[in-house]
Structure 1
Amino acid sequence: MPLLARTVTTPLSIEVRRGAVADLGELLADRRISSGGDVALVVGPGQGEKIVELCRPSLRSADVFTVAGGSVDSANKLGDQLRRRNYDAVVGIGGGKTIDTAKYAATRYGIPMVTVATSLANDGIASPVASLTHEGGKGSYGVHIPIAVLVDLDFVENGPDRQTQAGIGDAVSNLSACADWELAHQVRGEPIDGLAVTLARTGAEALVNHPGKLTDDAFLTTLAEALILGGISMSICGSSRPASGGDHEISHAIDHLHPGAASHGEQVGLGALFCTFLRGDLERFGQLARCLHRHGLSTRPGDLGLTDEQFVEAVLFAPHTRPDRYTILEHLALSADDLRTRLGDYVDALREHLD
């Protein structure tokens, strides 16, 4: 009998709403993740005490671990602490660094992991990847996809706008990443996963076309769903292909050459916009430019604090950050002079679509 379907690993539960943190115990019990509340709550510094206070009434058997997350060392230290007791699940509560630390530690010891996101800065809230620093550099490590994902809009709303803006840039960049994947399929015969593309692109399309603002619950929900779909799309195909193309190569190059220029989301948003222009897709270019501009994200190198020459340098270096990945940057293989010309044309095109 031929294979008529495939099994797709996704979270058991996805909830995006206000008050998610306070109802965590009820969700864990209802989904049979932990009926007794024997879980490890992993929180970051800062608002950790407030979050624990909200969780305590429904999770009396929980242990709380505060991590200054973001590194392999901190994740390994957390893992060593988790070994001392049999936990039903590890619950990572906070932003990207805390969640990635919890994902890595939980995966290391085979414990189910639940994400409770208090910010929407990137697609790590549901992805099978943990981005952690190690020995001065930053690496991406394969981990288990979260068994449940909760996004508490109360905390997202009260967080810095820049975190939400970064999430917008990360989510909409999937449109460029999927276009790069399709290019690699057409030119090099690289296998492409249509389901992964569909999920990544659907979430990004919904976000690009949403008329709401950063303060609207409906818009924040759409952003959260776009980031979650991007994470699941990577789990489905077993790689970051549907969410990482030339846009991420440019961001990695900026991190390497000009560390600290901006957030990951801001950089990949600009990278996606420039790659879309290089593809000659002016309709999509205008759509992305208006979306990024409307929500206060960078559309020009200068918005990131980079000169045009520094940006050209980063785009030239970008393919070296992922030698195995074929994108519009590798396809065109533009020289420095060509890139300077294209960047000038890009700025002119921005004026036409934004002014």
Structure 2
Amino acid sequence: MPLLIRSVQTPLSIEVRRGAVEGLAALLTDRRISAGGDVAVVVGPGQGQRIVELVGPSLERAEFINISGGTLDSALELGQRLRGRNFDAVVGIGGGKTIDTTKYAATRYGLPMVSVATSLANDGIASPIATLDHDGGRPSYSAHIPIAVVVDLDFVEAGPDRSTRAGIGETLSNINAIADWELAHRMRGEPIDGLAVAMARSGAEAVVNHPGDMSDDGFLTVLAESLITGGLAMAICGSSRPASGGCHEISHALDILFPGTASHGEQCGVGALFCTFLRASTDKAWAARFEQLSACLARHGLPRTPADLGLTDEQFVDAVEFAPRTRPDRYTILEHLALSRDELGERVADYADAVH
């Protein structure tokens, strides 16, 4: 008998609104995650006291755990603490490092995890991946998707604009990642998941075409939803393909060759724009898309050129040349064109001119 449908795991609840952290106890009860509030609440640096004040009165039986987060060691240490008590679930409240640390620990010890994002810097909010520092690198580890996802716009607004800009670059790069996946499908027969593509692309398109800015709740809501659906797209297809292509290879190369250059999302935005420029140089149909993405990055104050990242053209060439080595199993526009160093130098110079 043919398989006519498939089951897709998703969070029980997704909330994007102001005051979401304060409503955490009601969410846990209403969704039957924890009727009595026997949960571990993991918070990142600098936010612990405010979060305790907001949710402590309604979660009297919760244990609050402060972490620095972001490393495999901190995730393992958190896991040991979670084993010390019979929790119904673990709640991670904070930015990407806190959520990824909590996600990994919860997965390792078999606990449902509620993701409460206070920033919109990346798509780890709902993804099945935890990226953690370990042995000088930042490997990604498989994890269960959160049982519930919450984004509190009050915290997002109070946080640094640069974090939100990073999220814009991250979600915009999905357009390039999908183009790379479709290229691999055409050239190498790599299987492609249409549902994952639709989810990742529709969210990115919504952000690119939204007329608002970071002061607009409507725009922030669309951005949050795009990052969430991008993460769920990865869960659906069991791969980072719908959100990671040549753009991410370039970002990873920058992390290795020139650490501290910029945030992951900012680097991905530049990587996506450069990869789109490469596509436009061989297929004129991509020229309008290049202009559209460039205008979006400029409108939100994101870097677009190597100089905007504080790099010389030569350094950016180094990164692009090195980029395919960061994901040897992945076929993108970079592997497809296989440009020599001299050719890359010419393209990077032309790219900088085209942006300006």
Q: CA RMSD in A?
A: 0.6
Q: Answer whether contact 2:246 2:323 (CA < 8 A) is retained.
A: yes
- 1:284 and 2:286 are equivalent in the alignment: no
List gaps (5 residues or longer) in structure 2.
281-285
Query: For residue 275 of structure 1, what is the aligned residue in structure 2?
Result: 275
TM-score w.r.t. structure 1 length?
0.98
Query: For residue 250 of structure 2, what is the aligned residue in structure 1?
Result: 250
**Matches of 1:345 and 1:259, distance apart in 2:** 25
Cα deviation, 1:162-221, whole Å, max 9, x if unaligned, reads: 000000000110000000000000000000000000000000000000000111100000
Q: Answer whether contact 2:115 2:126 (CA < 8 A) is retained.
A: yes
Query: For residue 283 of structure 2, what is the aligned residue in structure 1?
Result: none
Query: For residue 207 of structure 1, what is the aligned residue in structure 2?
Result: 207
- 1:347 and 2:352 are equivalent in the alignment: yes
**Matches of 2:328 and 2:289, distance apart in 1:** 27
1:302 equivalent among 304, 307, 323:
307
Query: For residue 142 of structure 2, what is the aligned residue in structure 1?
Result: 142
**Matches of 1:53 and 1:4, distance apart in 2:** 50
**Matches of 2:167 and 2:48, distance apart in 1:** 22
- Counting only pairs closer than 5 Å after superposition, residues 119-138 of structure 1 correspond to structure 2 as 119-138=119-138
**Matching residue's letter, 1:46:** G
Query: For residue 53 of structure 2, what is the aligned residue in structure 1?
Result: 53
- 1:188 and 2:188 are equivalent in the alignment: yes
Query: For residue 319 of structure 1, what is the aligned residue in structure 2?
Result: 324
Q: Which runs of 4+ in 1 moved over 3 A?
A: none
Query: For residue 115 of structure 2, what is the aligned residue in structure 1?
Result: 115
- 1:64 and 2:64 are equivalent in the alignment: yes
**Matches of 1:137 and 1:181, distance apart in 2:** 25
SS in 1 for 2:138: strand
**Matches of 1:72 and 1:79, distance apart in 2:** 11
**Matches of 1:141 and 1:5, distance apart in 2:** 28
**Matches of 2:289 and 2:229, distance apart in 1:** 20
**Matches of 1:346 and 1:194, distance apart in 2:** 31
**Matches of 2:58 and 2:29, distance apart in 1:** 10
**Matches of 2:187 and 2:3, distance apart in 1:** 29
Q: Tell me how far 1:348 sits from its aligned partner.
A: 2.5
**Matching residue's letter, 1:286:** E
Equivalenced residue count is 351
Q: Answer whether contact 2:19 2:153 (CA < 8 A) is retained.
A: yes
**Matches of 1:299 and 1:89, distance apart in 2:** 41
**Matches of 2:238 and 2:342, distance apart in 1:** 37
Q: Tell me how far 1:138 sits from its aligned partner.
A: 1.1
Cα deviation, 1:100-158, whole Å, max 9, x if unaligned, reads: 01000000001000000000000000000001001221110000000100000000001
Query: For residue 172 of structure 1, what is the aligned residue in structure 2?
Result: 172
Q: Tell me how far 1:306 sits from its aligned partner.
A: 0.5
**Matches of 1:283 and 1:263, distance apart in 2:** 27
TM-score w.r.t. structure 2 length?
0.98
SS in 2 for 1:150: strand
Query: For residue 29 of structure 2, what is the aligned residue in structure 1?
Result: 29
Q: Tell me how far 1:335 sits from its aligned partner.
A: 0.8
Query: For residue 226 of structure 1, what is the aligned residue in structure 2?
Result: 226
**Matches of 2:303 and 2:247, distance apart in 1:** 13
Identity between Structure 1 and Structure 2 (%): 72
SS in 2 for 1:86: coil
Q: Tell me how far 1:347 sits from its aligned partner.
A: 2.0
**Matching residue's letter, 1:329:** L
**Matching residue's letter, 1:314:** A
